[in-house]
Structure 1
Amino acid sequence: MPRCVVIRNPASRRALSEERLQAALDHARAAGWHVERVETDYQHHGMEIARAAAAAGVDVVVVNGGDGTINEVIQGIAHTDTALAVLPGGTANVWANEAGIHKDPSDAMLDIVRGVRRRIDLGRAGERYFLLMAGVGLDAEIVPRVGARMKRLLGAASYVVSGAFIALRTKPRQVAMRIDGAAADASVYWMLISNTRSYGGLAEITYRAVADDGLLDVEVMHRGGVFHLLADGVRLLFHRHDRSPNVEYRHARTVEIATAGLPVQVDGEFLGATPMRFEVAPAALTVIVPPSLRSALFQQPAIGPVDAAARE
């Protein structure tokens, strides 16, 4: 019998009602799963719950929340056999969309109980893991200025609204850094260090990313301003922005930024400022995805059905 702990963030923008959540959990119980529910009460509570679940040998941690709650949870289950699954309930639900999870909670729970396990990489910024991506510069300036009220009202568009003003004010910085140990100093307006493809559910900026290849995708935009933003925005629509002379795109295992004072965000949450080391943590997380999912985000075969973990 698979054991799962459902971590619900009641403060999430799209947190499920009690009725809809219970209907979803009934599908797990009908499939023979043992289900325990816990709600987060404070910052980092999700990490604590997840860590305790992994230590107790729980098979699956199901997150009903957004990408920020997911980021908390992966801190507690990275490098364990406990798998991550998601009932979407946040602002953008980027990982749920990348993983092909249904938006309807009952359908999403069926995706989970019928799902397959995959082992994927994580990124790490300093001591903090990230599932999606880390941003340095522009977007990390934006993240702390988007309040909870604006996120509830506008969703993912709240970042666009705030970003439009900040983007025109932000100036590039000359940055001293090393990529895979080699000097790679550059003028940096905005930098993404990505494990996945979709940026905030708005566009596939790091569209070549593969979540289980042991590499991170690094994209640097050197200059800002109206002309470059518009030109690179048009190229982005056709997945040609990485051919722009203003953009540098590469794969890497490590990125070390020595220059101080550049803001950093991970998975849409403000983390701090450079200097900072970023690195890939290969095969650090088990995730549950629908068995029918066909996505270029994954290259390695699934490691088995979700209920097989409970029999091992």
Structure 2
Amino acid sequence: MRTKAEHTEAIHRDRRVAVVINTRSRRGRKHYFEVLDQIHGLGFEPLAEYSVVNPKRLRAHLDKALDLQPDLLIVGGGDGTLSSAVRHVAHRDVALGVLPLGTTNNFARSLGLPLDLAGAIKVFAEGKVADIDLGMAGDRPFANLASFGVSVEVAGKVKPWLKRIIGRPAYPLTALTILPGHTPFRAYITVDGKRHELLTHQLNIANGRFHGGWQVAKDISIDNGKLVAYQLGSGKKLRLLGETLARATTGRWRSLAGGPFVTGREMLLETDPPMAADVDGEVRLRTPLTLRVVPNGVRVMVPSSFEDN
């Protein structure tokens, strides 16, 4: 692979890009032509431009775009779309350019990207290439988060129309309808030979800095070579209700130094009972599950101010 400096120079000089936009995402259809106009306005002449109407065709479109060997693959959509893109570009000599067109845009926030389209697109012309961490849940790569508990049910029940109308608050509001009938579970997290036990309704293991569009902790990074496990609330429903309301209204959360957090490069997660895992929006795996981080596993385009470790 090229050095990051060489890769950055190639993008700025040659402008070999391909564009894939999920027009089923929250803002994808509305802004599709606007996005293309702005990309062209910065002097880019994409090798190809793909509009994803059927989400089942996303991977095929990503493959076709990568077959053109662009230096920069620009992908627009929500976190699920971008997670698929991350899996495609991982360990390859191509940078991922992120267009935040979803509801929460956790991945874009973790990269420090502007959430307005003009600002995000400007990064392609003026930003730099960086290598960030890649999470692994079993053999499944993930960009941002693996979660267990209430959020798995929320992912299956949140209404698309509600996300379109109110955005991020759709998730905690849906959670509030599920909580009264939800049963807490025990989780056992083994890191560096030490076993941590907790009782909770919700457990998250994060690679990125954001969950639900809000910062998890100010000292978490998507580029520090560690995963962070944390519970939302506890086994008590009233406490989780309070945490959910606080997150929905203020986004406040404690610093990593203040806990309750478990950090490490690799974690073995066991739960009682065994549970489904929501990995970047896709529910496919179950506990017990080993999660680990691959430092510098993904190449991305970021603002020049991004701290690249």
What's the TM-score bracket when you normalise by the shorter of the two chains?
Answer: 0.7 to 0.9
**Partner in structure 2 of residue 24 of structure 1:** 38
- Taking structure 1 as reference, are residues 47 and 34 closer, same or farther at Cα in structure 2, changes over 3 Å only? same
Match of 1:12 among 19, 25, 29: 25
Deviation of the 1:86 alpha carbon: 1.5
**Partner in structure 2 of residue 270 of structure 1:** 283
Match of 1:45 among 43, 57, 60: 57
Match of 1:76 among 88, 107, 128: 88
Once superposed, what is the RMSD of the aligned Cα atoms?
2.8
State the Cα deviation string for residues 146-182 of structure 1 (Å, max 9, x = none). 1322222222111121111223332221234422444
Q: Check if 1:204 corresponds to 2:215.
A: yes
Tell me the SS of whatever aligns to 2:135: strand
Q: Check if 1:169 corresponds to 2:181.
A: yes
Please give the alpha-carbon distance, in whole angstroms, between the structure 2 residues aligned to 1:104 and 1:232. Answer: 27
Q: Name whichever of 123-132 and 54-63 sits farther off.
A: 54-63
Percent of pairs identical after alignment?
25
**Partner in structure 2 of residue 219 of structure 1:** 230
- Taking structure 1 as reference, are residues 233 and 147 closer, same or farther at Cα in structure 2, changes over 3 Å only? closer
Tell me the SS of whatever aligns to 1:76: helix
Q: Name whichever of 99-108 and 249-258 sits farther off.
A: 99-108
Asked if 2 retains the 8 angstrom alpha-carbon contact of 1:181 and 1:254, the reply is no
- Taking structure 1 as reference, are residues 180 and 36 closer, same or farther at Cα in structure 2, changes over 3 Å only? farther
Q: How does the TM-score come out when normalised to structure 1?
A: 0.82
State the Cα deviation string for residues 251-297 of structure 1 (Å, max 9, x = none). 11122223353232123343443232211121100111121x35xxx
Please give the alpha-carbon distance, in whole angstroms, between the structure 1 residues aligned to 2:291 and 2:85. Answer: 19
Q: Check if 1:127 corresponds to 2:139.
A: yes
Size of the aligned set, in residue pairs, is 291
State the Cα deviation string for residues 87-137 of structure 1 (Å, max 9, x = none). 221112222233333344333222211110110001112232221111111
Structure 1 unpaired stretches of 5+: 301-312
Asked if 2 retains the 8 angstrom alpha-carbon contact of 1:48 and 1:76, the reply is no
- Taking structure 1 as reference, are residues 289 and 279 closer, same or farther at Cα in structure 2, changes over 3 Å only? same
Asked if 1 retains the 8 angstrom alpha-carbon contact of 2:130 and 2:308, the reply is no
AA of the residue aligned to 1:99:
L
AA of the residue aligned to 2:231:
V
Q: Check if 1:184 corresponds to 2:184.
A: no
Write out aligned runs for 1:52-201 (5 A): 52-54=64-66, 56-201=68-213
Asked if 2 retains the 8 angstrom alpha-carbon contact of 1:197 and 1:205, the reply is yes
Q: How does the TM-score come out when normalised to structure 2?
A: 0.82
Deviation of the 1:206 alpha carbon: 3.8
